[in-house]
Amino acid sequence: MIHLRRAATLDARAMAALLNAIIVKGGTTVMVSPVTPREVQSWMAAPDSAWHLAEDSNGALKGFQYIEPHPDLPKGGVDVATFVRMGETGLGVGSALFEQTKQAARDLGYRHIHAIIRADNTGGLAYYQSRGFENFRRLPDCTLADGTRVDKIWKRFNL
């Protein structure tokens, strides 16, 4: 069973650990360097953002999702990021989180949610497509912090 709740600053250590495992594996996130709990806490402090997490019945973190404004988005838009524990994708964690995120975006007055995904992240592309996101733009030949070059797919979900 999945339990959803708003993430709090005390969750930052567990969220950083989950995210760092994904970063170390590589290939699905644009992040290439591990993050600290303090960095996650600073991200959580962004105004007009919303953070939710999913836990199992024992309180173990299964995944998290957040929305935050970004200056490069069209007016009324908010950026989304989703991270699910490796080996546990496809089990409904992301679907459950997105229901909470959609409501939070509406409550914050957003009109659309944007996801920018590496073009080689087939799982991420499938996840957002299955939630109803539509292709908005392709961003060719983007350079990541470590010099890796990838295309990105920008998807949009209208609320």
pLDDT (0 to 100) of residue 137: 93
Q: What predicted TM-score, i.e. pTM, was given to this entire model?
A: 0.92
Phi, psi of 84 (to 5 degrees): -120, 140
Say which DSSP state 9 is in.
Answer: G
Label the pairing between strands 77-84 and 112-118. parallel
pLDDT (0 to 100) of residue 31: 83
Between 63-67, 69-73, 76-80, 108-112, the lowest mean confidence (pLDDT) is in: 69-73
pLDDT (0 to 100) of residue 145: 85
pLDDT: which is higher, 147 or 114:
114
Domain extent at residue 14: 3-158
pLDDT digit string (tens) for 108-146? 999 999 999 999 989 899 999 999 999 999 999 998 888
Tokens 């591990």 sit on residue: 34
pLDDT digit string (tens) for 2-58? 999 999 999 999 999 999 999 998 777 888 899 999 999 999 999 999 999 999 999
Specify the number of domains making up the chain. 1
pLDDT (0 to 100) of residue 86: 83
Take residue 98 and report the two structure tokens written for it: 């997105």
pLDDT (0 to 100) of residue 30: 82
Provide the CATH number for the domain around residue 30.
3.40.630.30
Distance CA 28, CA 30 (A): 7
pLDDT (0 to 100) of residue 130: 94
